[in-house]
Amino acid sequence: MFTAFLIKYAEIGVKGKNRYVFEDALVTQIKYALKRCEGEFKVRKTQGRIYVDALTEFDFDETVANLKTVFGISGICPVVYVEDEGFEKLGEDVVAYIRDVYPDRNKTFKVAARRARKNYPLDSTEINMEMGGIILDAFPEMSVDVHNPDIMLNIEIREKIYIYSEIIPGPGGMPVGTNGKAMLLLSGGIDSPVAGYMIAKRGVKIDAVYFHAPPYTSERAKQKVVDLARLVSRYTGPIYLHVVNFTDIQLYIYEKCPHEELTIIMRRYMMKIAEQIAQETECLGLITGESIGQVASQTMHSLAVTNEVCTMPVFRPLIGMDKQEIVDISEKIDTYETSILPYEDCCTIFVAKHPVTKPNLNVIKRHEENLAENIDALVHTALETKEVIIVKSE
Ligand code: ATP
Ligand code: MG
């Protein structure tokens, strides 16, 4: 019965020129999300509102589920359009609407009419009164509550007449593309996809880098990261995934540095390389899935030592979260099942039995001097040979 959706968005901070940037980004992301849905849609912006019109048959649940991936949407209102064929006919349409949408009518309601064109014979107060009466006549079990109604029945008089009352909550946040771009260090784990999701929610576009270490990490491990990027890209839009071959760097560190420092030194090189790619691709920051104390490489000491190589801001949206809180989000955004697939990630092969948990920056730097001979060339080669995969959810 619904043929359209009215898209509600929080307007805070959306004043003046920002408003267009915000709305245009929202429209772009809505169109991207709708490509995944059966049916054809038109997205239009009129008088400070965004509507999604269905041009063909469509699957209601699927469409709503996909609209819920668009950051910036605060509410999704399913709308019924009816032709203007007089007020009496409108009364019949509204009664039919209530009958269809609310099988249980033991509810209070309020009619909220708006006239977008003033040539309609009744003004909005008259419509509210008259329509209220028609509804009460049709459904004596309903009653009016103008302050806190169960059902806010909106009637908008436009070219056609729009009827809506339900608001399905959207994901909130800001439309992706309104707040610059950042580079996500994406591994095959649970945390980093969640970290990317959280930063994208603030309107930030995401690119990603994955450090691959064949043959120690398999093609399946890489495919898993591509799959995760695709799941995240439902929310973020297309992701440029940079796959860096990290094997030679890893082996070289393994050969030249104390094994209990391998992970931390490796992580410093990951951050360095990620930052170089970020700079080349106009990203303004890095994103990781780190959380204080989760593993040896994420103690405060380790994070400080890792961070030292970066000049860009590093965003760690999970920093204060417990694992279970992160898992809950990964389940909500549907990455969990993929993240827990058992394919090894590039750290597990080389992990020492007793990695340092309180690395000392000076000691680490001294040991990194052992790499002086070849590391620049290896980093150069890693950057030269990286593969870029454009990941989309369409
Ligand atoms: P995740 O669940 O995201 O893999 P984790 O708990 O396994 O995190 P680490 O392996 O210490 O933690 O990694 C910390 C962060 O470093 C990750 O969240 C991710 O941002 C980044 N990272 C780790 N390994 C890789 C990799 N192979 N490629 C790209 N980024 C990585
Ligand atoms: Mg990991």
Instruction: State the ligand closest to the CA atom of 346.
Output: 1
Smallest CA separation from ligand 1 atom 18, residue:
289
Q: SS3 of 133, please?
A: helix
Tokens 């993240």 label which residue? 339
Residue 268 beta carbon below 6 angstroms from any ligand 1 atom = no
Q: CATH number of the domain at 181-391, please?
A: 3.40.50.620
Distance 204 CA to ligand 2 centre (A): 23
- Asked whether this chain's domains 4-169 and 181-391 adopt the same fold, the reply is no
Task: Write out the chain's pLDDT in tens, 394 residues.
Answer: 899 999 999 766 566 778 888 999 999 999 999 999 999 999 999 877 899 999 999 999 999 999 999 999 999 999 999 999 999 999 999 999 999 999 999 999 999 999 988 899 999 999 999 999 999 999 999 999 999 999 999 999 999 999 999 999 999 999 999 999 999 999 999 999 999 999 999 999 999 999 999 998 899 999 999 999 999 999 999 999 999 999 999 999 999 999 999 999 999 999 999 999 999 999 999 999 999 988 878 899 999 999 999 999 999 999 999 999 999 999 999 999 999 998 766 556 677 778 888 999 999 999 999 999 999 999 999 999 999 999 998 7
Q: Where are the domains of the chain?
A: 4-169, 181-391
Instruction: State the ligand closest to the CA atom of 270.
Output: 1
Q: Tell me if the domain spanning 4-169 has CATH number 3.60.20.10.
A: no
Nearby residues for ligand 2 (ion, Cβ within 5 Å)? 187, 189, 345
Angstrom distance (rounded) from CA 151 to CA 165: 6
Smallest CA separation from ligand 1 atom 1, residue:
189
Q: Which ligand 1 atom is nearest residue 208's CA? A: 29
Residue 224 beta carbon below 6 angstroms from any ligand 1 atom = no
Q: What is the DSSP string of 63-130?
A: HHHHHTT-TTEEEEEEEEEE----HHHHHHHHHHHHHHH-S----EEEEEEEESSTTSSS-HHHHHHH
Say if residue 121 is preceded by a cis peptide, omega within 30 of 0.
no
Distance 282 CA to ligand 1 centre (A): 22
The answer, as to whether pTM is greater than 0.85, is yes
